[in-house]
Structure 1
Amino acid sequence: MAVETTSLQAQRPYGATREPPAPGADAPGPAPGRADTPLVRWLRTVLLAAVIVPGAAFVGMAGWALERARTDAEDTTARASQMALSHVQRTFAVAEEIGRRAAAATAGDDDEVRADEAALHQRLNDIVAGVPALVNLNVWDAAGRAVARSDQRIDPGASAGDRTYFTEMQDRSIDVGISEVIVGRQTGRELFNVTLRRPSPDGSFRGVVAVSLAPSYFRSYYESIAADDPRLASFALIKTDGSILARWPPAEAGRQRVAPGAQTLARIQAGEDAGVLVTRVGTGREARLLSFRRVPGYPVYVVAGFSRDAMFADWLRLLWLLAAVLLPVSAGLAGVAWVAIRKTRLEHEASAALREESRRRFQAEQAVMEAQKLETLAVLTGGVAHDFNNLLAIVQTNLHVHRRKHPALAEAPQLQAMARAIRAGVRLTRQLLSFSRKQALKPETIRLQAWLPHAAELLQSTLGRAVQAEFKVDADTASIHVDAGELELALINLALNARHAMPKGGTFRVSAFNDEAHPIAGRPAVNLCVQDDGAGIPADILPRVVEPFFTTRERGAGSGLGLSQVHGFCVQAGGRLDIDSTVGAGTRVCMRLPAVPPADAAPHVEELQAPVAQALRGSVLLVEDNEDVASSTQAMLTDAGLSVARARSAQAALDYLAQAPAPPDLVLSDIAMPGALNGIGLAFRLREERPDLPVLLTTGYAEQLSLAVSGGFEVLPKPTAPEDLLRRIQRILQP
Structure 2
Amino acid sequence: MQRAQRNSLRLLQWMMAASLALPIALFVIAASISYTSTRDVADREIERTLDVVHEHALKVFETIDRSLAELNEVVRALSDDTIRAREPALHRRLKRLSDSLPQLKSAWIFDADGRALVNSLVSPPPEQSFADRNYFYAHIDQSIGTFIGTALTPRLPYQGARFFGVSRRRDSDDGRFIGVIQASVLPEYFESFYARIGSDPGSFFAMGRTDGAMLTHFPRLDHDLRLDPTGPVGREIAARPEHGLITVAWPSDGIERRIGYRRVAGYPIYVSAGLETSAIRARWLATIGQHLVFGLPATALLFLLLALALRRTQQIQAEAAKRREAEEALKHSQRLEALGQLTGGVAHDFNNLLTVIRASVDLLNRPQLTEERRQRYITAIADAVARAAKLTSQLLAFARRQTLKPEVFDVSERMQSLRDMLAPLLGPAIEIAMRLPTEPCLVRADAGQFETALINMATNARDAMQGKGRITFKVEPATTVPDTLADASSQTSANHGFVSVTVSDTGIGIPAARLGRIFEPFFTTKQVGHGTGLGLSQVFGFARQSGGEVTVTSEVGHGSTFSLYLPRVPPELLPQRQAPNTAPAVAGSGMSVLVVEDNIELANFAADGLTELGYSITLVDNATDALAELVLDADRFDVVFSDVVMPGMTGLDLAQAICDRGIDVPIVLTTGYSQALSQDGVAGFELVQKPYSIEELSRVLHRAARIRRVRDGAAE
Common fold: TM-score over 0.5? no
Q: What TM-score, normalized to structure 2?
A: 0.43
Q: What TM-score, normalized to structure 1?
A: 0.42
The higher radius of gyration belongs to 2
